[in-house]
Amino acid sequence: MWPFSRKGGSGFSSSSTAQQVTDNIDATGLTAVVTGASSGIGTETTRVLALRGAHVIMGVRNMNAAKDVKEAILKEIPSAKVDAMELDLGSMDSVKKFASEFKSSGLPLNILINNAGIMACPFALSKDNIELQFATNHIGHFLLTSLLLDTMKNTANTTKKEGRIVNVSSEAHRFPYPEGIRFDKINDQSSYNNWRAYGQSKLANILHANELTRRLKEDGVNITANSLHPGAILTNLFRHNAAVNGLINVFGRFVLKNVQQGAATTCYVALHPQVKGTSGKYFSDSNESKTTPHGTDADLAKRLWDFSINLIK
């Protein structure tokens, strides 16, 4: 990553790492769920939250990979509290099972980090017959959040500590289909574009956090919901595009963030006192940032909410 990045109002920049943005923050007593925690920024987010004292539950598809991650974290941080539970965001049954098992554990929930995602994959349908990127990146997280919200509300009430919901979006939200969300053509294979479909799903992450903010404020609940762009990062998200993947591997280390920098904004929004009381905002490089007109469209957010409710029924 370029070493000459400018610091924003938070005091952090694109080159800040997750450890740096959480320096001197004590997360002891907090419980966090991190989806997609067995690789990339999900793993680093888990490690840093555990380093700061939080009990982290990794929601993962690959339990063997999660076992390796847990062992590596415990080797580095013997006092870390990290557990793994199976979670496939592309399957509503899997999401329901995860939520049910989490609630049965009796654990509190202070922080929910909706991090998992797939990017620009060829057209496919999820197990519930929804276009796979929209299903995995948005609907799975929408359902998970809905199912865990009561636990978060109870935790916030009992502990008197602010709950935080963090949606990992992307600058790709700037390039969805022209209408933003194609409510009538979600599963239309003939006009499917893998990158626009990805942009659509990432726009949905922002709109979800915004409408959630409105509803939480209406209910007077001490929980915030924000979205963020982690930065262009060296991860396996590019695996579905061989040409891009090749370029990334050659030039990426000069212009992209490493994983430690990529997890910074997530950890900042999840833990930093500067973000206390802030909700319905979009962050980039550990600073508040601006989204597109689509990303601040309250009517579009409400319509997406209703559309998503119908899909998860």
- On whether the CB atoms of residues 269 and 152 are closer than 8 A, the answer is no
- For the chain, where are the E strands, in sequence order? 31-35, 55-60, 81-86, 111-114, 163-168, 223-229, 282-284, 287-289
Angle at 167 between CA 164 and CA 173, to 5 degrees: 150
Could you confirm whether 198 is annotated as catalytic? no
- On whether the CB atoms of residues 289 and 265 are closer than 8 A, the answer is no
The single residue listed with the structure tokens 């199976």 is 86
The single residue listed with the structure tokens 């009561």 is 150
Contacts of 190 (CB under 8 A, 6+ apart): none
Catalytic: which of 192, 198, 268, 282? 192
Burial zone of 143 (CB within 10 Å; 0-12 exposed, 13-18 middle, 19+ buried)? buried
Burial zone of 37 (CB within 10 Å; 0-12 exposed, 13-18 middle, 19+ buried)? buried
Q: What is the C-alpha separation between 131 and 110, in angstroms, rounded?
A: 31
Q: What is the C-alpha separation between 202 and 112, in angstroms, rounded?
A: 17
Catalytic annotation, residues = 192
